[in-house]
Structures are given as C-alpha cells and as structure tokens.
Amino acid sequence: MNWPLWVGLPLLVLLYYASRKRTQPQSVQQVPSAVATSALKAKQTYDAFLVVDVEATCEEGKNFAYPNEIIEFPVYLMKWKDRIGGQASQLEIAAEFQTFVQPTWRPKLSKFCTDLTSITQEQVDAAPRFPEVLRSLRAFLVEHGVLEKTGKRRLKFCWATDGPWDVAEFVVKQAFISQIPVPDWLAGEALDVRQLVRNHLASNSKTVRGNLNISAQLGALGLPPFVGREHRGSDDAQNICRILQKLATEQVPIRPNLHINLRRRWAWMGKSGQILEDKI
C-alpha cells in the first residue's frame, strides 16, 4: 500500500515524539541507578551464612590440642536483604539460635574457663548435651528454610567463623567425644572470616598487625568497638555478623575459603570415643 506523503510524514513525527515521551523519564531514572548498582554491589553466589562462635572447656596452660568440650553453641542465620540478579551488598540477621551445652567428659568447668567466658556452672548443668543440641539446631534450620526436612541443603549456605577452629576443630572433637558422626549439613566448606578480612585489608594495602582477633578486625575495618563481652560465644558471633555486613558493603565476595576435614585426629583420641588421658 502506498501512503500519501501528507499522511506518512506527520505520522512519523508524531511517533517520534510519542516514543521520546515514553522513554525519556525512564532513561533519566534508570541509567544512573543501574550504574550505581553494579558499582556498589559484588556478585554474591551464596544465599546464606551461618555465623557460629562456640565456647568450649579449657584449662589454663593447655592449648587447642586439649579435648575441649563445647559449652555454648550460638548460630546466627544471615541472608541477603537486597540481592537482585546475584548482586547484593546488604546482609541481615534473619534468625538466631542460642544454647549452652553440657559437657560430659569433664562436667566441672575450670575457674579459668568461667572467668574467660563468663559462662557459669549452673548454665551448663541445666543445658542439653551435644547430640540433643544438634537435633534442635537441625530443627531450627528446617524451620527457617535452610535445610529440607530430610536434612538436605535447601539454600546454598556455609558456616562462618572467626578463624579456622570452631567447626573444623571444636565440632570434630566434640563429635568424637559424643560418639556421633558430624552431620552432612555441618560439614563441607566453611568461611574463615578472619582470613577474609586479612585478604581484604591486604588487597587495600593496609598493614595487618597482630593476630587480628575480632576487636582488631572491627578496628581495622573502621567499625565501632566490640559490642558485648569478648569470649562469650553469642557476643563474639554478633560481632562477626557486623564484620560480614561491613565486608558485604565493601563489595567483598563472601564465600568459603576453608575445608572442614572430618577425619582430623588428635593424639588423645583412642578407640570409639575413648580419651587417652596420658596423651593430653
């Protein structure tokens, strides 16, 4: 069909203005925010993080080779608040799990231990033992959609701790003492937050001094001081959450950097849960 020129030209002009009207306000609003989004958010491939900081029995003068028994097991579930297309910068605490744990090999806490952790004998005496704590923790993770009812992972998550000890050492030792296997959902890959902070500071050419404990990490990241009491598991864990939140806003990809070796053994480990006192 041949349109006469006097119809076609005004029609083209009209279409041109109509299309400008439609697209202009959008382009003004969208372009800068899209640019800002990709500039401020890192690609985050994990859905959730389980921040845990256990406290365990300890004796003055003994190091981490000791058969420490877990006495506090706090877990904070952190999820992204703003993840779109895999990019995110805001982590928030979605739920918390809090419990003391009753030790069984040496049920009496040393003064050194109660002074260090502020956890009392009464608190651990009244607490469930480790196998029961794992059952409650599993129920908590199912309730919050982290695990399927079967115990299979529903979200892509990893355990996050200050240093490599909490899951890879304390949980492995405790499972041995309790004579139970470490569940699949507590094994696999984990995140050593302290190492992540160390790498982040190094990549920004900041000098890292000392052992970089939680307080030192907060300071190095320019955050306000430690909130609560150091060496209380729940307080330590909440401060680790603050550190992860800060790293997330600084576009650090948050993902595992540590493998949990369930076959790890210590000299005092005898046959089937037996503790060889002369090897401690």
Buried b (16+ CB within 10 A) or exposed e, 40-59: ebbebebbbbbbbbbbbbbe
Q: Which residue has the tokens 């900041």?
A: 206
Cβ atoms of 197 and 228 within 8 Å: the answer is: no
> Least separation, in Å, of the C-beta of 73 and ligand NAG?
20
Distance between CA atoms of 179 and 172, rounded to whole angstroms? 10
> Least separation, in Å, of the C-beta of 59 and ligand NAG?
18
Of the candidates 142, 182, 208, 216, which one interacts with ligand NAG according to CB under 6 A?
216
Which residues are known to be catalytic?
A: 55, 231
Q: Which residue number, 230 or 250, has a Cβ lying nearer to ligand NAG?
A: 230
Q: Which residue number, 119 or 175, has a Cβ lying nearer to ligand NAG?
A: 119
Distance between CA atoms of 156 and 194, rounded to whole angstroms? 21
How many C-beta neighbours within 10 Å does residue 205 have? 6
- Asked if residue 230 binds ligand NAG (CB under 6 A), the reply is yes
Of the candidates 25, 210, 222, 224, which one interacts with ligand NAG according to CB under 6 A?
210
Region of 51-59, 145-153, 210-218, 247-255 interacting with ligand NAG (CB under 6 A):
210-218
> Least separation, in Å, of the C-beta of 163 and ligand NAG?
12
116: nearest Cα among 31, 165, 55, 41: 55
Instruction: Give the interface with ligand NAG as residue ranges (CB under 6 A).
Output: 210, 213, 215-216, 230
